[in-house]
Amino acid sequence: MMFKLNQDGTVAQKVGVEQWHDVNTSREYLQWLAEGNTPDPYVAPPPPIPATVTRFQALAVLAAGGYLDTVRTYINTLDQNNVQRLAWENATDWERSSPTLNALATMLNLTSAEVDDLFIAASQVSA
């Protein structure tokens, strides 16, 4: 037998399939609550790390983080035909796995987790 619980533990009148509970499991849970137990709060999983972001998104996040001027200064020291400079100047999308991007991250002393965070932030930028 399946049913839906309201937040106060009473049985709901209307049942949505996505919120059905097994009777035995729900009784055990309600008993556990009645004994004074409290469930851990829900913690959302971390957002996925995007594989790519647009050039604009990346530049916006680098600027917001105070990294853009440093990167531009470094890029300007490179030869016109250097692959990192070519990638910086011409890439329309930035890939998280890019050797150029990871070299720039190393130059900025960013950890892999910090680069992931920048990619997540960049993926949320729109103009």
Query: For 67-125, what is each residue's pLDDT tens digit?
Result: 999 999 999 999 999 999 999 999 999 999 999 999 999 999 999 999 999 999 999 99
Strands 52-54 and 93-95, bridge-based pairing: antiparallel
Q: Quick check: helix, strand or coil at residue 114? A: helix
Does the pTM surpass 0.85? The reply is no
Strands 93-95 and 21-22, bridge-based pairing: unpaired
Query: For 2-40, what is each residue's pLDDT tens digit?
Result: 556 666 666 665 545 455 555 556 777 788 888 998 888
Nearest alpha carbon to residue 93 among 32, 51, 61: 51
Residue type present at position 25: T
Q: Quick check: helix, strand or coil at residue 42? A: coil
Residue boundaries of the structural domains of the chain: 2-34, 52-123
